[in-house]
Amino acid sequence: MSTKEVELHQVTIPIPDSVKASVTHKILHVQGPLGKTRKAFKKIPVDLQIEGKNVVLKSVGVRKRDYAIFKTAESIINTLFKGVQTGYTFKMKVVYAHFPITVKIKDGYIHVENFQGERAARTSKIFGETKVVSKGDDIIITGPVLTDVSQTAGSLQQNTKVKNKDHRVFLDGVYLFEKLDKIEK
- For the segment 162-182, what is each residue's pLDDT rounded down to a tens digit? 889 888 888 899 999 999 988
Domain shared by 118 and 164, yes or no: yes
Residue ending a domain, choose from 24, 58, 85: 85
Is-above-0.85 flag for pTM? yes
Measure the CA angle with vertex 10, ends 6 and 13; round to 5°: 175
Domain shared by 22 and 56, yes or no: yes
Is 98's pLDDT higher than 70? yes
Domain shared by 125 and 165, yes or no: yes
- pLDDT over 90 for what percent of the chain? 82
DSSP string, 92-143: EEEE-SSSPPEEEEETTEEEEESGGG-SSPEEEEPPTT-EEEEETTEEEEEE
Instruction: Give the residue among 79, 55, 56, 57 at the shortest CA–CA distance from 70.
Output: 57
CATH number at residue 158: 3.90.930.12
Domain shared by 143 and 156, yes or no: yes
The burial of 32, by beta-carbon neighbours within 10 Å (0-12 exposed, 13-18 middle, 19 or more buried), is given as buried
Residue ending a domain, choose from 85, 101, 117: 85
105 lies in a domain?
yes
What is the tens place of the pLDDT at every residue in 37-75?
A: 999 999 999 999 999 999 999 998 889 999 999 999 999
Domain shared by 93 and 169, yes or no: yes
In contact, 22 and 171? CB cutoff 8 Å: no
Residue 127: CB atoms within 10 Å: 19
66 lies in a domain?
yes
Instruction: State the residue range of the domain holding 78.
Output: 10-85
Q: What is the pLDDT of residue 7?
A: 75
Phi-psi category of residue 117: left, alpha or beta, with phi > 0 → left and psi -120 to 50 → alpha: left
4 lies in a domain?
no
Q: What is the pLDDT of residue 101?
A: 93
1 lies in a domain?
no
| Domain count across the chain | 2
Burial pattern 169-184, b for ≥16 Cβ within 10 A else e, equals eeebbbebeeeeeebe
What would you measure as the largest C-alpha separation in the chain, in angstroms? 77
